[in-house]
Amino acid sequence: MKRTATAALIFFAFGAVAIAREPGTLPMAAPEDVGLSADRLSKIDGAIKGEVDAGRIPGAVVMVARKGHLVYHRAFGFQDKDAGKPMGEDALFRLYSMTKPFVAVAAMMLVEDGKLQLADPVSKHLPAMKGMQVSVAKADGQFARLTYSLAPTEREMSVHDLLRHTSGLAYGEITLNTPVKDAYAKAGLYLPG
C-alpha cells in the first residue's frame, strides 16, 4: 500500500479533526506542484459538505499539506451552529482521545518503513516495559470479596496489543484499591487527588 500524507489527512477530515494554521507557517502551493491532483482534492468539498448538510457534524476545517506546502485549506459548516457562527479556517478544536488515531497512523508508517513490527514486544522499543506484571483478581469464597495481587505476564505486551487496545494497561483511576494503583503511583503515573 502506497503511503501518502493525503490519505492520512482525509482520514482525519472525516473524523472532523482539524489543525489550526498559524499565518506563514506553511507556504501555499498548487497541488500539482507537489504531486497531488487539484481535481481529486476538490472532492473533499462535497464529502465534508455532505456530512455537514446531513447533520452528522456541525463543521470542520480541513487542511492537506505535502512536501512542506499547504495545498488545500477550507472551512465548512458552523463553529457555533445555534448562534449561526460560521466555521473559520483558524478554528481550534479540542482533540480529546484523538491521539489514538494519530499514533496508530504513525505506527503503521513505521511498519511500512520496516522500522517497527506489529509482533515486536513493546520492551524492544521501551525497555522500561520489560518484566511487567498484571493484576490478578481472587474471589474470597466466604464473603465474595475480590482481592488483587500482582503476577508475571504470560507473554510480553506487543505493539499489536497496544494498537488494538488489548494491552491490559489502564488508567490509575480504574485500578483503585489494587496493587496496580500503588505501582502506578510509585512510577509517577497516578497521583491521587
Active site (catalytic) residues: 97
Tell me the C-alpha distance between 142 and 47, whole Å: 60
List Cα–Cα distances, 107 to 110, 135, 177, in angstroms.
Answer: 5, 28, 34
Shortest CA distance to 175 belongs to which of 184, 186, 166, 165?
184
State the Cα–Cα distance between residues 192 and 56, nearest whole angstrom.
Answer: 38
Give pairs for 91-97: CB < 8 Å, separation 24+: 91/18, 91/20, 91/59, 91/61, 92/20, 93/16, 93/17, 93/18, 93/20, 93/61, 95/17
Residues β-bridged to residue 158: 121
